[in-house]
Structure 1
Amino acid sequence: MVVFNVIFYAFIAVVCVQIYYYTVVFGRFSALKTKKAAFKTPPVSVIVCAKNEADNLKRNIPFLLSQEYPEFELILINDNSSDHTLKVMTGFQKLHENIKIVNVKPVEAFWGNKKYALTLGIKAATHETLLFTDADCSPNSSHWIAEMCVQFDQERLLVLGYGAYEKIKRSFLNRLIRFETFFTAVQYFSYATTGNAYMGVGRNLAYKRSLFFEANGFIGHIQVKSGDDDLFVNQVATKLNTAICVSEHAFTSSKPKTDFKSWILQKRRHVSTASHYKTKHKLMLGLFYVSQILFWILGTTVLILMLHWEIAVALIALRFAIQYMVLFAAAKKLNEKDLIFLLPVLEVFLFSAQMVIFIQNLISKPKYWK
């Protein structure tokens, strides 16, 4: 029948699209050979914006202060916290001369807007090189600053790093969260490698102060509550000015959410910024996401209907083989190899969760960054 032929050929087209993404786009990052750059030690301003993060700051500030780097300051931004965040900051400041505190008071025009608080912190920065992380993050090593900053040169003014989540044994949610984080990183590292950087994560991101002010900061998307990281990168990244850092010593680590509701809310804030990406990036990401869903739907349909099942099985096996090889190579780079064994299950759960998030965001938008 004509309908069955349309389904089968549509399935072939979807498999071809999937193979293209995994080989041509993601394969570039997986096969990338990292080169050791010449060691540089420009003075650095490490910036942490915190809102009600007293406990996380107590735990993570010592890791930031223990960095083996000749000259850096730590700028702590208290974004109108209602807990003991400011008290924790001042306690550390009394013991360390390289800590600077920016205490942000509520302003009606920028109520609940992290970008306003970050802008004040960036203005307070002494140094040209800025390195960002979150209050709930800690560097994986004492060489975090050095490994991130070595990627800068006269042209490279923006460095994308990897912000991982801690592993929790026997937790499927933890694997799902880490898989989403890993796969998102594979995408933004891959696009950056091909000269189409579209996002970065504020848990591990560095750029030059001059780049921020030349772009007029966050003014182009100040009305969007989230996106101080990905929307800024989407705005300023070019083929020439962006570098990636995948040294294990340069990773940061955060405590993940431990219940689905909190994680979904967190992802709703993150996903809400995607509609503000450049059109070409929305098309590239959208095509992959649609092809991923259609691969499972059409693949299942073709097998149930037994439409040229020998060819269908061969195509499905080919797609999975390429996906496994590419993502396993990427997982080795990002120290996430344990995720690959549950790849099909995690993939289905992830795009199902993303669909739920997309529908929820159509109904109502998240209003605050925390």
Structure 2
Amino acid sequence: MTQFLLILLYIFIGIVVIQVIYYLFIFGKFSFAKPQESTAKHVSVSVIVCAKNEEENVKKFIPLLASQNYSNFEIILIDDASSDETLEIFEQFEKQYTNVKLVKVANNEAFWGNKKFALTLGIKAATKDYLLFTDADCYPNSENWITEMSSHFTLHKTIVLGYGAYEKESSFLNKLIRFETLLTATQYFAWAKLGKPYMGVGRNLAYKKDEFFKVNGFINHMKLRSGDDDLFINEAANKSNIALAYNPESFTYSKAKKTFKDWIMQKRRHVSTAKYYKSFDKTQLGFFYFSQLSFLLIPIVLLTFQFQWIIVTSIIAFRYLIAWISLGYSAGKLKEKDVMYWFPVLEIILIFTQLNVFIRNMFSKPVTWK
């Protein structure tokens, strides 16, 4: 037994080394990066919003898009066969604002409920060179959102990843959701800085229209009802064409899910696309998650037998310190510092929630696009 526990201790040390490498040398590329400065470019921009049964949200948020402090932009509103008053509200906005263009998507049996089909029609209707995407339940953090996002475009940087945050509320679930959002953003921002971009979020994403047609749009994953953002970025982005926007004025915000059940369903949709990522991306994401889970499980065995408990607890404390520092700096950039007070608890719950989601997705498909 002693020999087994000694081997387990060595494995645990190796797991912690892997975690330290991730938090310091990979995530640290974003966490410890300097605050961002930008210079306005004023390129022509089409803001694209796709909505399905979002009448309450579009009433509040489309006027915020229309009031952006930017000289050359249009708003493409896509109604994806809504059964509520979304279309009628969009029609009112089209009359009210001269730079609003409406795209009506009828039910199509071949693409039933597929947001990618609706987005494709909207992209084709856009008349500007650069496309900026957000969701119907999102709103920009400032009137300079378009300016900030578009400022990162250059001759070669034609894809810009932004941060889609969630409003702060007092509930524990809200903190858990925002912690997961922080961790996810830290990962995809950091890997993009390392020249290995693998995903973005449709709540805040921009790219040149040419990039869409270079990869034939969503054609390679059109049958998958999720992934209009992350699968597109996984296919189209590379170390040469990617840029990041993380100035707070470039953020978008939306309301987080109110119940654990709704959040789990949302996560199941998001996770379902990851298996279609490039091999390297799937490997590094799986490797990180395996190291997280192992970091929690192995010490339970070692401490149960009180095997080298001083060493084990010291290693645990060291790992938490490194992770806390790395994510803490990232949280400062993304205005999520309050969730770090709950870090160890949130991380443990998130790790086992992810395991639950993975197992459930193995046996049933998640529901997608309303």
Q: Could you say which TM-score interval applies, normalised by the shorter chain?
A: over 0.9
AA matched with 1:209: K
Secondary structure, counterpart of 2:39 in structure 1:
coil
- Once the two structures are superposed, the pairs formed by residues 162-177 of structure 1 within 5 Å of their partners are 162-169=163-170, 171-177=171-177
Q: Say if 2:80 and 2:115, in contact at 8 Å, map to a contact too.
A: yes
Secondary structure, counterpart of 1:78 in structure 2:
strand
Q: Say if 1:63 and 1:139, in contact at 8 Å, map to a contact too.
A: yes
- Once the two structures are superposed, the pairs formed by residues 126-165 of structure 1 within 5 Å of their partners are 126-165=127-166
CA deviation digits over 1:48-72, x for unaligned, max 9?
A: 0000001000010111111000011
Q: Which residue of 1 aligns with 2:255?
A: 255
Q: Which residue of 2 aligns with 1:202?
A: 202
| 2:343 is equivalent to residue 343 of structure 1 | yes
Q: Which residue of 2 aligns with 1:115?
A: 116
Q: Say if 1:269 and 1:369, in contact at 8 Å, map to a contact too.
A: no
| 2:12 is equivalent to residue 11 of structure 1 | yes
Q: Say if 2:144 and 2:249, in contact at 8 Å, map to a contact too.
A: yes
- Once the two structures are superposed, the pairs formed by residues 171-186 of structure 1 within 5 Å of their partners are 171-186=171-186
Runs of 4+ in 1 over 4 A off after TM superposition: none
Q: Say if 2:138 and 2:253, in contact at 8 Å, map to a contact too.
A: yes
Deviation larger for 299-308 or 210-219: 299-308
**2 CA distance for matches of 1:231 and 1:167?**
28
**2 CA distance for matches of 1:98 and 1:60?**
16
- Once the two structures are superposed, the pairs formed by residues 24-35 of structure 1 within 5 Å of their partners are 24-35=25-36
Q: Which residue of 2 aligns with 1:225?
A: 225
Q: CA RMSD in A?
A: 0.9
**2 CA distance for matches of 1:293 and 1:2?**
23
AA matched with 2:333: K
Q: Which residue of 1 aligns with 2:354?
A: 354
**1 CA distance for matches of 2:338 and 2:38?**
29
Q: Which residue of 2 aligns with 1:369?
A: 369
Question: How many angstroms does 1:36 deviate by?
Answer: 2.4
**2 CA distance for matches of 1:201 and 1:305?**
44
Q: Say if 1:174 and 1:256, in contact at 8 Å, map to a contact too.
A: yes
AA matched with 1:242: I
Secondary structure, counterpart of 1:268 in structure 2:
helix
**2 CA distance for matches of 1:130 and 1:106?**
25
| 2:52 is equivalent to residue 51 of structure 1 | yes
**1 CA distance for matches of 2:304 and 2:12?**
13
Secondary structure, counterpart of 2:27 in structure 1:
helix
- Once the two structures are superposed, the pairs formed by residues 227-242 of structure 1 within 5 Å of their partners are 227-242=227-242
**1 CA distance for matches of 2:184 and 2:169?**
20
Q: Which residue of 2 aligns with 1:334?
A: 334
Q: Say if 1:225 and 1:367, in contact at 8 Å, map to a contact too.
A: no
Question: How many angstroms does 1:287 deviate by?
Answer: 0.3
Q: Say if 2:37 and 2:247, in contact at 8 Å, map to a contact too.
A: no
AA matched with 2:146: I
AA matched with 2:8: I
Question: How many angstroms does 1:35 deviate by?
Answer: 4.5
| Inter-CA distance 349–14: structure 2 relative to 1 (3 Å threshold) | same
Give the structure-2-normalised TM-score.
0.98
CA deviation digits over 1:235-272, x for unaligned, max 9?
A: 01100100010000000000111011111111111110
Q: Which residue of 1 aligns with 2:62?
A: 61
Unaligned runs of 5+ in 2: none
AA matched with 1:158: I
Q: Say if 1:268 and 1:357, in contact at 8 Å, map to a contact too.
A: yes
Q: Say if 2:38 and 2:148, in contact at 8 Å, map to a contact too.
A: no
Q: Say if 2:103 and 2:121, in contact at 8 Å, map to a contact too.
A: yes
Question: How many angstroms does 1:108 deviate by?
Answer: 1.2
**2 CA distance for matches of 1:91 and 1:350?**
42
CA deviation digits over 1:278-335, x for unaligned, max 9?
A: 0000000000001001001112222222222222122111111111111110000000
| 2:106 is equivalent to residue 105 of structure 1 | yes
Give the structure-1-normalised TM-score.
0.98
AA matched with 2:129: E
**2 CA distance for matches of 1:82 and 1:252?**
26
Secondary structure, counterpart of 1:239 in structure 2:
coil
Secondary structure, counterpart of 1:67 in structure 2:
coil
**2 CA distance for matches of 1:51 and 1:86?**
9
Question: How many angstroms does 1:122 deviate by?
Answer: 0.1
Unaligned runs of 5+ in 1: none
Secondary structure, counterpart of 1:41 in structure 2:
coil
Q: Which residue of 1 aligns with 2:84?
A: 83
**2 CA distance for matches of 1:37 and 1:265?**
37
Q: Which residue of 1 aligns with 2:274?
A: 274
Secondary structure, counterpart of 2:76 in structure 1:
strand
**2 CA distance for matches of 1:6 and 1:369?**
48
Deviation larger for 310-319 or 111-120: 310-319
AA matched with 2:83: S
CA deviation digits over 1:73-93, x for unaligned, max 9?
A: 000000011100001101111
